[in-house]
Every structure is written in structure tokens, then in C-alpha cells.
């Protein structure tokens, strides 16, 4: 069973909707929400009803109840089971508000566009169809994993494409936003990868073997 890895969606203005939502909850309700998130992180895509409900368009809702209060947190799965939390709300009627569900869908598209924007710096992905196929590949095939790299300000500034085997992580490509194409950022990305997968050996396709050697030599 593969555990989930939770990430909070952050919009272009630096706001994190789920954090803002949880900060407004009464403390006991917030504690229940945290326990529900821990359950989601533990079981990932294997967590089902009554804790979770599929809402269509790859959006799920985490169902939280404390006493008479009911709240929901929307999320979607990204590459290799990563769980991206989009937004939350206190439920005041039986029907899920269309406004909140539409927010979740928009935030999911925004997240995908960020990855696609970084990928588009690479020659192989300047074609929109190639971009869409690559995103789909990483979402549907567990052997292909797309890592979004965040800087110290928690902004996504890079994307790393990999292929996983039992013993190896193969670097397929790396794309950094302009202004971040320095050895220090490349070094940080590879260090994060090693920390997350200490038992796997990192290698690369021919186009990136020199970069991998340079990063390892600099480290």
C-alpha cells in the first residue's frame, strides 16, 4: 500500500486556501480535521467511504464531522499518489455548494498549468499535445513521477521528471524557471530526491548524465 504525501495548494497571490479555512475552525473541529488528514495521508488513494467521496473530474472530498458541525476539504491526486488539498468549507446544507466545487476544479487546473508552464521550457514539450500526454503519463503510470520543486519562499520554480524502478530513479528531464537555473538549485533538487528515496540509486538518461555528475561533484 502506498501512503499519500499531502501538499497544500498555493495560489498565485501566495494564499493557501485550506490553511486559511482550517485556521478559522474552532479548535476541537480543527483537531478533528487534522486527524482526518492524517488518515488520508496514511491510506492515500485506498481511503474510501464514509471518509471520502469522489466528486467527478478527479476531485475528491474529505468528509469531516465534529458533533453537529460538518466540513469538507477537496483534494486531487498528483504524480505518485501526492495529495493536493485545494479548498475547504463548512457544510450548511445537504447539497455540496457548486461554488466550492468549482473552486477545487479551478485550483486543480492552476496546479497543472504551473507544471505545464515549466515543462514548456523544454524543446520536447513546446507542443501542447506532447505536454498533455506527459502530464497524463505521470498521473496514470506509477513508474513515472513528476516532482515540483519549491524554493524557500514556497513557490514552484522547477519540475523534475523521473522514472522509477525497484532499485533506481532515472532522471528523464529537469526544467527550472528563468532566474533559478543555477547549480545551487539543481543541487537542492537532487538532495531532496535522495532524502525522499534513500534506498534508491539516482541515475539519468544520456542528456542529463553530465548534469548529474556535476551536481554530485559539487556536493
Condensed to tens digits (0 to 9), the pLDDT of residues 72-127 reads 999 999 876 789 999 999 988 888 899 999 999 999 999 988 889 999 999 999 98
- Residue whose C-alpha cell reads 504524480 in the numeric block: 79
Write down the mean pLDDT value for the chain.
89
The confidence band for 141, taking pLDDT boundaries of 50, 70 and 90, is confident
Percent of the chain with pLDDT over 70: 97
Beta bridge partners of 204: 171
**Model pTM score:** 0.77
Whether 131 has a pLDDT exceeding 80, the answer reads: yes
Q: What is the CA radius of gyration of the chain?
A: 19
For residue range 190-218, list pLDDT tens digits in order: 888 888 888 999 999 998 888 888 877 76
Whether the pLDDT of residue 38 is over 80: the answer is yes
Q: What is the DSSP string of 80-115?
A: GGEEEEEEEEE--SSSPPHHHHHHHHHHHHHHHHHH
CA distance 118 to 92: 39
Contacts of residue 202, Cβ cutoff 8 Å, sequence gap at least 6:
168, 169, 171, 190, 193, 194, 212
pLDDT at 1: 35
User: What separation, in Å, do the N-terminal and C-terminal C-alpha atoms of the chain show?
Assistant: 34
Q: What is the pLDDT of residues 150-205, one digit of tens each?
A: 888 878 899 999 999 999 999 999 999 999 998 888 988 988 888 888 899 999 99
Residue that has been written with the C-alpha cell 534513500 in this structure: 198
Q: How far apart are CA 95 and CA 128, in angstroms?
A: 37
The runs of H, that is alpha helices, within 11-167 are 17-23, 27-43, 98-119, 128-140
Peptide bond into 50 cis (omega under 30): yes
Select the more confidently predicted residue: 211 or 17.
17
Q: How far is CA 168 from the centre of its chain?
A: 22
For the CA atoms of 30, 36, 101, 147, the dihedral, rounded to the nearest 10 degrees, stands at: 110
All structural domains of the chain, each given as residue ranges with its CATH number in brackets, are 5-112 (3.30.2310.20), 143-218 (3.40.630.30)
Quickly count: other Cβ atoms within 10 Å of residue 116's Cβ: 17
* Residue 172 CB contacts under 8 Å (≥ 6 apart), including other chains: 144, 161, 162, 163, 204, 205, 208
Amino acid at each position: 500500500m502506498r501512503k499519500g504525501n499531502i501538499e497544500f495548494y498555493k495560489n498565485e497571490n501566495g494564499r493557501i486556501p485550506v490553511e486559511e479555512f482550517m485556521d478559522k475552525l474552532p479548535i476541537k473541529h480543527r483537531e478533528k480535521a487534522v486527524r482526518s488528514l492524517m488518515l488520508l495521508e496514511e491510506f492515500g488513494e485506498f481511503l474510501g467511504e464514509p471518509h471520502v467521496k469522489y466528486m467527478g473530474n478527479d476531485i475528491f472530498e474529505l468528509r469531516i464531522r465534529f458533533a453537529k458541525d460538518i466540513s469538507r476539504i477537496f483534494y486531487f491526486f498528483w504524480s505518485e499518489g501526492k495529495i493536493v488539498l485545494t479548498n475547504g468549507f463548512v457544510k450548511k446544507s445537504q447539497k455540496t455548494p457548486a461554488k466550492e466545487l468549482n473552486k477545487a476544479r479551478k485550483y486543480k487546473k492552476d496546479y497543472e498549468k504551473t507544471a505545464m508552464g515549466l515543462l514548456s521550457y523544454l524543446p520536447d514539450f513546446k507542443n501542447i499535445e506532447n505536454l498533455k500526454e506527459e502530464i497524463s503519463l505521470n498521473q496514470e503510470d506509477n513508474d513515472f513521477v513528476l516532482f515540483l520543486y519549491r524554493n524557500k519562499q514556497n513557490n514552484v520554480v522547477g519540475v523534475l521528471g523521473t522514472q522509477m524502478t525497484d532499485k533506481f530513479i532515472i532522471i528523464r528531464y529537469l526544467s527550472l524557471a528563468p532566474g533559478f537555473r543555477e547549480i545551487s538549485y539543481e543541487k537542492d533538487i537532487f538532495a531532496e530526491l535522495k532524502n525522499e528515496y534513500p534506498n534508491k540509486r539516482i541515475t539519468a538518461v544520456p542528456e542529463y548524465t553530465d548534469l548529474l555528475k556535476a551536481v554530485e561533484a559539487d556536493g
